[in-house]
Amino acid sequence: MSEPSWDLYRSFLAVMREGSLSAAARTLAMTQPSLGRHIRELENALALALFTRSPQGLVPTDAALRLMPHAEAMASATAALRRAATTGDDTVRGVVRVTASEVIGAEVLPPMLTSFRASNPEVTIELVATNRSEDLLRKDADLAIRMTRPTQQALVSRRLGRIELGLFAHRRYLRRHGTPATLEELRAHSLIGFDHEPAYARTMRPKDLPWSREWFALRTDHDLAALAALRAGYGIGFCQLPLAARDAKLVRVLEPLSLPLDTWAVMHEDLRRTPAVRRLFDHLSSGLIDYARG
């Protein structure tokens, strides 16, 4: 029997991600019967049961869970092939996929990408704003902006500087509740923080800073939601200094307190000679160096 085609694996991946045939069919712009046929063909080809039906929908089997990361790798490779096929040998055109943290992706990069697009109109950008580290070796993205030093081999990286974080609050909040002068006074305020502590936060937290889950009046793992709450006057939270400088209504508190985030631009070494990727790498590096300097 011939090897299952990518179309079958793509259908399988859509069902795994969406949880039902109907939702997966909408995502792929297919009919539900056609999608169901793809799943049956893949199960027959692999001699495996991939899903069981329940009142809640399709439940993946252990075999399906084992296949999932491999199907995701295939999807990443297919997307990388499509992006590579759009790029000429010596012309600045094609598709470049960029990944960055939620805040950098949503708040910092858009003006830089706008100026890049103005001078490179034949380049299409795919922007992935996520705090999850996309795997550049697996070609999940072409270029990444990261807040930790890359450790994988076969990556080209450039340190862009340190982005400082400080504690801020909206003027409206401080008028109502006062401004803390010490870490002890900070404990009495409405603090905005994480729900699940990221590993880097534990290593960065200064001694005696009341920055653990039990102290927070708002807990969220969505950085943009935390930033929105800060701007709304909910309480006191961390914000990047260059970002806070854009809003005169955000006031820094306990000013000597500062947390540094090393910032890196990273790409796969195979892409160094791809004009669109290289030019965007240099453009974002320059812009983020200026941003980190404030």
Confidence (pLDDT) at 246: 94
What is the reported pTM? 0.70
- Residue with the two structure tokens 């439940």: 59
Q: Amino acid letter at 287?
A: G
What whole-number percentage of the chain has pLDDT above 90? 48
With the CA atoms of 27, 33, 35 and 38 taken in that order, what torsion angle do they form, in degrees rounded to the nearest 10? -170
**Mean pLDDT across the stretch 246-270?**
92
Q: What is the DSSP letter of 106?
A: I
**Mean pLDDT across the stretch 131-135?**
76
pLDDT band at 18 (very low <50, low <70, confident <90, very high): confident
Query: Is 194 in contact with 216 (CB distance < 8 Å)?
Result: yes
CA nearest neighbour of 223 among 108, 97, 98, 96: 108
| Mean pLDDT across the chain | 87
**Cα 39 from Cα 71, distance rounded (Å):** 13
The length of the chain is 294
Helices (runs of H) and strands (runs of E) counted in the chain: 12, 11
Phi, psi of 142 (to 5 degrees): -90, -35
pLDDT band at 180 (very low <50, low <70, confident <90, very high): very high
Give the model confidence (pLDDT) of 21-56 as tens digits. 888 888 888 888 888 889 888 888 888 889 887 776
Tokens of 41: 């063909």
Q: What structural domains and CATH numbers belong to the chain?
A: 6-81 (1.10.10.10), 85-161+262-293 (3.40.190.10), 163-260 (3.40.190.10)
Confidence (pLDDT) at 227: 97
Give the model confidence (pLDDT) of 204-239 as tens digits. 777 778 788 899 999 999 999 999 999 999 999 999
**Cα 201 from Cα 147, distance rounded (Å):** 12
Confidence (pLDDT) at 86: 61
**Cα 230 from Cα 216, distance rounded (Å):** 13
**Cα 147 from Cα 150, distance rounded (Å):** 9
**Cα 80 from Cα 157, distance rounded (Å):** 20
| 259-268 vs 155-170, strand pairing mode | antiparallel
Confidence (pLDDT) at 87: 58
What are 170's strand-pairing partners?
Answer: 250
Tokens of 134: 């996309």
Using the CB atoms, write b or e for 137-161: b if 16+ within 10 Å: eebbbbbbbbbeebeeeeebbeebb
**Mean pLDDT across the stretch 55-82?**
80
**Cα 282 from Cα 180, distance rounded (Å):** 41
